Amino acid sequence: MAAPPLLLLTDIAHGFGSLRLLDGASLSVAPGERLALVGRNGSGKSTLLKVAAGLIEPEGGTRFLQPGATLRYLEQEPDLSAFPRVIDYVLAGLGPADDAYRARALLADLGMSGEEAPAALSGGESRRAALARALAPAPDILLLDEPTNHLDLPAIEWLEAELASLSTALVLISHDRRFLERLSRAMVWLDRGATRRLERGFAHFEEWRDQVLEEEERDAHKLARKIVREEHWLRYGVTARRKRNVRRLENLHALRAKRRERVAAPGRVTMAASEGAGSGNLVIAADNITKAFGDRVVVRDVSTRIIRGDRVGIVGPNGAGKTTLLNMLTGVLAPDSGEVRLGTGLSMVGLDQRRAALDPTMTLSAALTEGRGDQVFVNGQPRHVIGYMKDFLFTPDQARTPLSALSGGERGRLMLARAFAQPSNLLVLDEPTNDLDLETLDLLQELVADYAGTVLLVSHDRDFLDRTITSVIAWEGEGRWQDYAGGYSDMVAQRGHGVRARAAEAAAKQPAAPKAEAAPRAAPPARRRGLNAKDQHELKTLPARMEALGAEVAKLEARVADSAFYARDPAGFAKATEALAAAQASLAAAEERWLELEMLREEAG
């Protein structure tokens, strides 16, 4: 006999104004279950998860949580602003019987000390803190909304292993296929307000989903044909049988009503990149290029050749210098030494991973046409902006919608639409998969894999990398980068491991402890090192310096995000990009120094 559910949602209905997100949705979570909740962007997945967490009172339906069952919820945008330190935020999520040591151990595993100030955290660090808070109590049910967002590959693989080791019931929302394949045992598909359940993992989901949609199309086709037959009979059938006519007319009205009430399945994204004239055979040649920021070498003596048609993935942990290497290979950032040569006839288009180039006050149609009329030029041919919007799953009603009202996934699709409208033979994609739903990811994968030109790609999505790239440039530590043939899985097979965190690099650099002698003498106790006057002054002034550097980084990011800046002033753009990279490196160095001094202060205290 199956165990009774810990959590049960029945016939949930909820909406915002006239928009009905949930209409009869259900969710059942039994002890130890591993569920993946999937659906299109904007379908209501996060809303359903918030109802499950008890954060939203639905307009209809019931929620039941077993008495005594514990539940933790990881939201997409955690708010740490009410806490002075990260550890205070994490410990606040513990119950009376929970172990504070586990909270500190999880933070250490995630590369954090707990003494960090929330205001200085990056998006990835905030997500790590929120994960520690959710995992530390070892609850009966974990509700995780996009847990891999902002995480690098080492953190994603650590999280996979940690969740796999738990006996906790999981409900996951994620667009990371590999993550879902390894953790899910059942699927809940939220589609047009209702839920369907498959008692198999994500590896079987897409085939099942396609079968369901094909059956719907066949049923719709049969219904349409039946309506045509009924109309034909009414017009040309025997008119003497009045009662039968009336009954068949009523049946026809009922069939039409059924078709009107049927909610059509959402459309598919249609993507096609505008291709420019062919480039030369040699696209990029890098010879012994090196780049350092202060004492830290980010790229050390790297040489590589990229040929027309190559699709190259650049992988490494956060802070390793992936974007720096990408900018050097594309000529945006000059190396300190060595040389980068770009091939002839290059027409490059890039994708801004921060979406910073989007003016939130601009309308959707203006963002696509750049404010020039109502046409978009794709492959040199004019297209009406409404038709082009539909290719990327935007409705005509959204043409005048300000960009500030778009969801993260919609903003991602808009950036793709803008990039792919420009003629190119070199696509430069820095984290293009952020916030995209599974269907859009499918088509983006097909586009990149079939693109006739050359592709440079930075991504933490292992499945996306395996499906699209022909070679990998992987971070090896201490500024070294190595070429590997094949996709991400091929790289793992060749080197014996995936991408490692930067903390592992630091640990590897520590000298091995000397072997003990036969009769060792007792070593004198180590004297605690205190902070001298210079250290104390530095510790006091570093927070203000970090704040100023953060403001400078934000200002420079806004400058280089201007889509017209490069065309207007290439030299100024290169200078601004180099200044941005230097400011980011200085900020990282200041943060590391502040952490080192804080640890010394604690030891001395």
Helix axes 205-236, 242-261, angle to 10 degrees: 150
39 is in an annotated binding site: yes
Residues 494 and 572 in one domain: no
3-state secondary structure of 10: strand
Annotated binding residue 323: yes
Q: How many domains does the chain have?
A: 4
Q: Whole-angstrom Cα distance, residue 164 to residue 60?
A: 34
Tell me the residue range of the domain where 237 lies. Answer: 214-261
317 annotated to a ligand binding site: yes
The answer to whether the annotation marks 316 as part of a ligand binding site is yes
Single-letter residue type at 587: L
Q: Judge whether 323 lies within some domain.
A: yes
**126 annotated as ligand-binding:** no
**In a 10 Å sphere around its CB, with 0-12 CB exposed, 13-18 middle and 19+ buried, how is residue 185 labelled?**
middle
List pLDDT tens digits, range 126-141: 989 999 999 999 899 9
User: Does 318 carry a binding-site annotation?
Assistant: yes
319 annotated as ligand-binding: yes
245 known ligand binder: no
Residue 517 counted as domain residue = no
Query: Does 605 carry a binding-site annotation?
Result: no
Are both 97 and 187 inside the same structural domain?
yes
Shared domain check, 146 and 41: yes
Range ranked top by mean pLDDT from 103-117, 383-397, 534-548, 570-584: 103-117
- pLDDT for 486 equals 86
Among 139, 138, 144, which Cα is nearest to 50's? Answer: 144
Same structural domain for residues 162 and 307? no
Return the percent helix, strand and coil in the chain, to nearest 5. 45, 20, 35
195 and 307 co-located in one domain? no
Is 62 in the same domain as 187? yes
E strands of 353-406, at which residues? 375-378, 381-384
Q: Give, in order, the Cα–Cα distances in Å from 548 to each of 126, 173, 590.
A: 20, 36, 11
pLDDT of residue 76: 83
Using the 8-state DSSP alphabet, how is residue 275 labeled?
A: B
Question: Is 46 among the annotated ligand-binding positions?
Answer: yes
**Does 43 show up as a binding residue in the annotation?**
yes
pLDDT at 506: 47
178 and 291 housed in the same domain: no
Q: Residue 451: name the closest of 427, 434, 422 by CA.
A: 427
Cα–Cα dist 385/373, whole Å: 9
Query: Percent of the chain having pLDDT more than 70?
Result: 80
Task: Specify if 272 maps to a domain.
Answer: no
Q: Say if 275 falls within a structural domain.
A: no
Q: Are residues 193 and 219 in the same domain?
A: no
Model pLDDT for residues 523-570, shown as the tens digit of each residue: 333 433 456 667 777 777 888 888 888 788 778 877 877 767 766 777
Kindly state whether residues 424 and 486 are assigned to the same domain: yes
Extract the tokens encoding 249. Answer: 């007319």
SS (H, E, C) 446-515: HHHHHCCCEEEEECCCHHHHHHHCCEEEEEEECCEEEEEECCHHHHHHHHCCCCCCHHHHHHHHCCCCCC
Q: What is the CATH number of the domain that holds 543?
A: 1.10.287.380
> 395 among the known binding-site residues?
no
Separation of alpha carbons 70 and 6, rounded Å: 9
Nearest Cα to Cα of residue 412 among 450, 377, 461: 461
User: Which helix (H) or strand (E) is 135 found in, with range?
Assistant: helix 123-135
Q: How confident is the model at residue 28 (pLDDT cuts 50, 70, 90)?
A: very high
Q: Which two tokens stand for residue 267?
A: 């459309």
| Residue 54 within any structural domain of the chain | yes
* DSSP designation for 264: P
Same domain, 233 and 193: no
Residue 540: inside a domain, yes or no?
yes
Q: State the pTM of this model.
A: 0.68
338 carries a ligand binding annotation: no
Q: Do 367 and 473 belong together in one domain?
A: yes
Ligand-binding site membership of 70 (annotated)? no
Complete edge-to-edge strand list for the sheet that includes strand 19-29: 19-29, 7-16, 60-65
Domain membership of residue 270 (yes or no) is no
41 among annotated binding-site residues: yes
Structural domain includes residue 253? yes
Q: Give yes or no: residues 466 and 326 share one domain.
A: yes
Query: Tell me, what CATH number does 299's domain have?
Result: 3.40.50.300
